[in-house]
Structure 1
């Protein structure tokens, strides 16, 4: 579906922090700023692979960007689209200029050669499909690293795949390298995948297909085999910290802690930031789980203080909710360790991690010690003890019990 046929896009422009400091500031109208050249800070290896293929005139007809959602599939794809169509750079450059018309139009999702297909909920007709697509594009204009999710089932339907295939059968406009982005390919219906496979087998001239997925194994083997796979890596903590400070005005120390808790996933870090700002229950649940994981993964002496600092001071309700979540997670881990039964896992949204952590709860003594420690801490909190002190003491007890169980 060509973006140019959707509703008029919100005007936006690439914004380069370094250029701004030099007094060369681009128009910035939507509050978001990420230059095409900046993607190399967040995904240096994938960007290097793409720029080398561009410089050598060996751009593939189909790419498969894969890795956890939130690592930057979307901005990586748009940055590459800008590089392929930039009028202000040459083959010797490893980044688009960010200032020419194609660069600016791609940044605004309004470029004639840019086609974006995203998973949407059930729709009655093409007009409704366009409206649903625009809602997602608006979210991505505001924040390209945002993890897009929906409580309702979403799919890439056959009508959109066919419509795109029909448009690509037309000759591209002179000087334009068309880029087709299929976002979250794991949600594509099999019938749609068949239509896509025909495009991959017989790629249109002057066209590059970019497929993104968090689960490459869910794609047809024939699609996987015909695409050049590029894995997105964990984003450096310092890059996430920089992003949170510059874009979301987070305090330096807190931004670094969020980066570490996110396990190198900027989308997850943004969920935590937004959860704190709007009190979203699901985001608070995600934060509670990440703090739970940190007790296993963060071996630094300051791990306990990190947990406290990410809680809202003496917010008794938040602390109690977090500890109750921990109790439930421990029950799940202990149950799976004893039975291997995944169907009875209560916190099914965290199932893969629960399975991974379960081995640490094979000893009933450790489970009993940790369960009692959390129960006692909950009781202490209700008696108006100093919450940060109580949480630090609990984390130290849990880590001691975990260490003894190894």
Structure 2
């Protein structure tokens, strides 16, 4: 069966990126068919609340959705949920669905996102082992976070630390297991990672670094523990696995598109096929500011890249050069990070403010240039931090560290 038309713009992935792309297409003046295809049965929603407000119970379910239910019909966007795309045929300009239906497209946008990395040890499929990616995952985890429950978190990245904070807020006992020497070590480096280690210790989390998970123990009914490489076992009523994500590139690879840590695109988010674009977690896009391909797994990318992709698909001049941004909330610590630093890609960190009191800004520098800045419980500074990153000019570290010197004057 065939649906769609040769003039249709088809978006595969009814995610935040997919929904914002549909919105951007209409705002940019496209009046032809727009089809948004999603595997899940939920209309597009935002993922940050799943490990933050929604998991904590402070954000209502209706608040997580990108658009109200009627928005899609009002804007003549065909939203098809519970729809799995099994193949893309660039030569025929069609996508094939799981029911063998085919949809023709003029332009195709891949917003297929990413999937949590699975824990490759025995017992990882036991009941009570949680991954966090979909709204249902958050709801199941919320039920497990109860006073006195023994929660073991495997992985001290952003998801691991945010869920650990939510578990402590619910009154659970929390152990975090991490193979590296500190939380967020690859992302933040030792200097700032120490801040997050102290934060979680101060809130009663048992942090264990340099450990290897050998197996999850339990029976048919539930997981009961995590066995470590040294033979020790950590008792668990539930286990949260947060060991990273993998971009969903299977469709692109099978279609012959160029992939490398995601679907490779140019700065216009165009893939190796000129009629196929990619945006969000799945896109490894050339960034003109940094002069290299980067793949950013954060909310702001999924929010903003679709505007560029939509305009580029319509033949308008648009390149994606936004400075990467993300945020996190843990206990009473709120932070925003602006910029991009590869692991060990900096030569010094400069702090401004009260680090022990967790009210400061940290700057990562290389050759005197600001690569990134993170404001912790200090607000309304992301714009000047972004400008420092974008300028690429050397900055006096002493001035950077001096709270009396306005960032806008550096």
TM bucket, shorter chain = under 0.3
TM-score, normalization: structure 2?
0.27
Structure with the larger helix share = 1
Give the greater-gyration-radius structure (CA): 1
TM-score, normalization: structure 1?
0.28
Structure with the larger strand share = 2
